[in-house]
Structure 1
Amino acid sequence: MPPDVSCPSVGALLSLHFAAIWIDGKVLCSTLQQHQRAIHLLSALDHQTGYVLSQTQVAPQANEAKTVIELLKPLVLQGKIIVADAMFCKKDVCDNILDSGGDYFIVVKENQSTLLKEIELAFAETEGLSPPTNNVKWKLSVKRFRRWAKDIAASNVAF
């Protein structure tokens, strides 16, 4: 995909083919008080309807990546694809999504050059070689992603 494609555009494209859930966090305006942090919420949104499916406050000593597993617990992820940014590219988060029957699409941009390069190498088509991992879940995710990418490309959806 072109590097200028924004995350919401990716979610819109995926929601044409899959039940996409977008994960995003926001700090609420005008909630900063003296000697306290502003209120920070993490939300799971249904991309087709725009409805908030789940929402939780991020604890002051935590971050979104630590809070997302609690956010996803009440949701049925079977057959869903979770769309998020690279902050959620953590093994425990991805394993939790896969263990719950879902899949994930995590957007990584050029400002995370090491991670982007590792992903590019892992997905590179190599003649007769497998990606450098023994993780069965990861290999299945790569196969699913390649299948979805072919389906999306075949649909001729314009950005």
Structure 2
Amino acid sequence: MTWTSAWAAVPVGQVGERRVIAVDGKSMRGAAVDGLRPHLLSALTHADRAVVGQLAVPDKGSEIPALKDLLEPMDLTGTVITADALHCQRDTATWLIERGADYAMTVKANEKRLHQRLKQLPWRDVPGYSPLDTGHGRRVRRTVKAIEAPAWVDWPGAAQALQIPRTPNRQGPQAN
């Protein structure tokens, strides 16, 4: 067991009583070799943004199978895994559930039918929470709305559907 995987077994980065880990891939700028930029898939805790795992992958498309390799050494029991739309795959959701984890994944056009059906939910009738986030020269308002997943959502472990539209505004003299 490596130091990183041993450390990842410690309940750090908890939000309330749950450990929450984000999985995300990034290409490294300024580090290209023969025109290819290194691409890393990382696991970070939400609470303190500590890196608890990282793998080099050939490219963005290689992130999907690498997610399991990245998280395999960790005890995921009771952990919430967050991931972008690239990882919104039935196989990934099933694997996480089998490992005792819950998940929050973005649904976009890569799951076209599910995405279209979720857009048809009665979002106007759902109350939302809309904090203003200020940083990086921008002000962004994200409205978070959550409802119970309808029975027709045929997705492994789906319990809720969330909608998070954002409204960006630039800061500075021209800001609204």
Shorter chain as normaliser: what TM range? 0.5 to 0.7
Structure 1 residue 121 displacement after superposition? 6.5
Question: RMSD in angstroms over aligned alpha carbons?
Answer: 3.2
- Matched with 1:43 is 42
Partner residue, 1:75: 74
TM-score by length of 1: 0.63
- Please report the TM-score for the alignment, with normalisation by the length of structure 2: 0.58
| Paired amino acid for 1:51 | A
Q: 1:88 matched to which residue of 2?
A: 87
Letter aligned with residue 152 of structure 2: P
Other-structure match for 2:63: 64
Select which of 140, 147, 152 maps to 1:131.
152
Q: Distance in 2 between matches of 1:26 and 1:58?
A: 10
Q: Distance in 2 between matches of 1:95 and 1:113?
A: 16
3-state SS of the aligned residue for 2:67? helix
Unaligned runs of 5+ in 2: 1-13, 122-146, 163-176
Question: Secondary structure at the residue paired with 1:131?
Answer: coil
How many residue pairs end up in the alignment?
A: 123
Q: Which residue of 1 aligns with 2:22?
A: 22
**What's 1:154 paired with?**
none
CA distance in 1 between partners of 2:91 and 2:37 (Å): 27
Q: Using CA pairs under 8 Å that are at least 6 residues apart, name the structure with larger relative contact order, 1 or 2.
A: 1
Q: Which structure has more helix as a fraction of its residues?
A: 1
Inter-CA distance 106–17: structure 2 relative to 1 (3 Å threshold): farther
Q: Confirm or deny that 1:103 pairs with 2:102.
A: yes
1:96 CA drift (Å): 1.1
Give the AA of the match of 1:99: E
CA distance in 2, matches of 1:102, 1:61: 24
CA distance in 1, matches of 2:105, 2:79: 14
- Give the unaligned 5+ runs of structure 1: 1-13, 150-159
Once the two structures are TM-superposed, the CA of residue 108 in structure 1 deviates from its matched residue by 2.5
Query: How many percent of aligned residue pairs carry the same amino acid?
Result: 26
More strand by share: 2
**Structure 1: which amino acid aligns with 2:51?**
V
Q: Distance in 2 between matches of 1:101 and 1:125?
A: 20
Partner of 2:126: none
The answer (yes or no) to whether the contact 2:39–2:60 under 8 Å persists in 1 is no
- Number of the residue aligned with 2:143: none
2:158 to 133, 136, 142: 142
Does 2:28 align with 1:32?
Answer: no
